């Protein structure tokens, strides 16, 4: 078992995030990156822009990360022993690409309530200041803040959701070595800058590990059962991928991504790239 110790748990509860946590070996990181880039080569539209969600449903290597026992041990420390997987996202920033993520809170627009869930951000390349690592506003997870919807160019978020007036002197950079991860609270304010390096920055994000008591209040999500028992049955359970880019799994991914689009753009008259 690799559960969080008392100091780590206190840091997460006080600050709203925890990093770094060692999860993957160099070999596991390489295998995951190779599989992502194989999918990009064989099916270039399948994990690009609004299709970047739920790649774990068609990629056995990413699925293995989602169900990694060390990762789940850490998550269990935060949300309890019954764990559902409610979606993943690939955040890929290519060299000198103008992509960034505005400061935002996940809980503002994902529709998962109550907030008995946690996001795992797994680095498949080094993530640092030069290539646009995540930045956290410690202790900002106390309450939901107002967001503007900017739909601004280069923003990797659906609506360009933005918390204004984030204090630069309080924000902390979360630098990770490939194979490490961070865990963050649904309400913490976070974002990231552009990639100024000469290599890709790849983050694989289990957008939500949720407790089985958590409902989707804005639409519908299907989930995988990662650990324990689903005592509440709020969501349809889907299975792990049969094989790489399996046709049936591709159809499930397409359906789940449409569900997500319905959630992310609920009530909006405008739609963004992601």
Q: Look at residues 81, 92, 78, 117 and name the one whose alpha carbon lies nearest to residue 37.
A: 92
Flag whether 271 is in a domain: no
Q: What tokens appear for 59 in the block?
A: 């990629």
pLDDT higher than 90, residue 167: yes
Q: Look at residues 154, 179, 127 and name the one whose alpha carbon lies nearest to residue 274.
A: 154
Flag whether 65 is in a domain: yes
Strands 236-237 and 222-227: parallel
pLDDT (tens digit per residue) in 168-227 = 999 999 999 999 999 999 999 999 999 999 999 999 999 999 999 999 999 999 999 999
User: Are 143 and 189 contacting, i.e. CB atoms less than 8 angstroms apart?
Assistant: no
Q: What is the mean pLDDT of residues 91-116?
A: 92
User: Domain limits at 101?
Assistant: 6-264
pLDDT (tens digit per residue) in 108-121 = 999 999 999 999 99
Please report, for the domain that includes residue 72, its CATH number. Answer: 2.60.120.620
pLDDT higher than 90, residue 156: no
Flag whether 168 is in a domain: yes
Q: How far is CA 27 from CA 40, 178, 206, in A?
A: 20, 11, 20
Flag whether 272 is in a domain: no
The total of other beta-carbon atoms located within 10 Å of residue 164's CB is: 11
Q: What is the mean pLDDT of residues 37-47?
A: 96
Q: Look at residues 33, 54, 78, 31 and name the one whose alpha carbon lies nearest to residue 203.
A: 33
- Main-chain phi, psi angles of 140, to 5 degrees: -85, 5
Flag whether 274 is in a domain: no
Domain count, the chain: 1
Flag whether 273 is in a domain: no
Would you call 98 exposed, middle or buried from its count of C-beta atoms within 10 A (0-12, 13-18, 19+)?
exposed
Flag whether 141 is in a domain: yes
**pTM attached to this predicted model:** 0.96
The confidence score (pLDDT) of residue 96 equals: 77
The total of other beta-carbon atoms located within 10 Å of residue 28's CB is: 17
Q: How far is CA 95 from CA 3, 98, 138, 247, 274, in A?
A: 36, 9, 28, 32, 19
pLDDT (tens digit per residue) in 76-85 = 999 999 999 9
**Largest Cα–Cα separation, the chain:** 49
Q: What tokens appear for 189 in the block?
A: 């304010």
Helix, strand, coil percent content, the chain, rounded in steps of 5? 25, 25, 45
Q: Look at residues 30, 48, 27 and name the one whose alpha carbon lies nearest to residue 39.
A: 48
Residue 60 belongs to what H/E stretch?
helix 60-66
**Category of 154 on φ-ψ map: left (φ > 0), alpha (ψ -120 to 50) or beta:** left
Flag whether 140 is in a domain: yes
Q: Look at residues 247, 217, 245 and name the one whose alpha carbon lies nearest to residue 44.
A: 245
């Amino acid at each position: 078992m690799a559960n969080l110790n008392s100091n780590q748990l206190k840091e997460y509860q006080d600050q709203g995030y925890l990093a770094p946590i060692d999860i993957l070996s160099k070999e596991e990181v390489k295998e995951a990156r190779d599989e992502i880039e194989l999918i990009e080569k064989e099916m270039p539209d399948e994990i690009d822009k609004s299709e970047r969600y739920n790649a774990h449903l068609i990629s056995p290597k990413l699925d293995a990360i989602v169900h990694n026992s060390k990762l789940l041990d850490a998550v269990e420390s935060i949300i309890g022993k019954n764990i559902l997987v409610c979606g993943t996202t690939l955040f890929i920033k290519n060299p000198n690409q103008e992509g960034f993520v505005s400061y935002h809170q996940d809980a503002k627009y994902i529709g998962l309530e109550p907030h008995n869930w946690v996001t795992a951000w797994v680095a498949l390349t080094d993530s640092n200041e030069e290539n646009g690592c995540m930045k956290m506003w410690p202790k900002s997870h106390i309450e939901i803040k107002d967001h503007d919807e900017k739909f601004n160019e280069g923003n990797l978020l659906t609506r360009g959701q933005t918390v204004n007036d984030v204090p630069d002197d309080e924000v902390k950079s979360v630098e990770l070595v490939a194979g490490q991860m961070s865990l963050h609270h649904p309400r913490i304010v976070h974002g990231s800058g552009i990639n100024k390096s000469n290599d890709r920055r790849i983050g694989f994000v289990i957008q939500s590990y949720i407790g089985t008591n958590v409902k989707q209040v804005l639409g519908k999500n299907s989930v995988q059962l990662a650990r324990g028992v689903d005592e509440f049955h709020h969501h349809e359970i889907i299975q792990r991928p049969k094989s790489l880019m399996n046709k049936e799994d591709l159809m499930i991914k397409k359906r789940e991504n449409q569900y997500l689009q319905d959630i992310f753009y609920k009530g909006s008259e405008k739609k963004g790239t992601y």
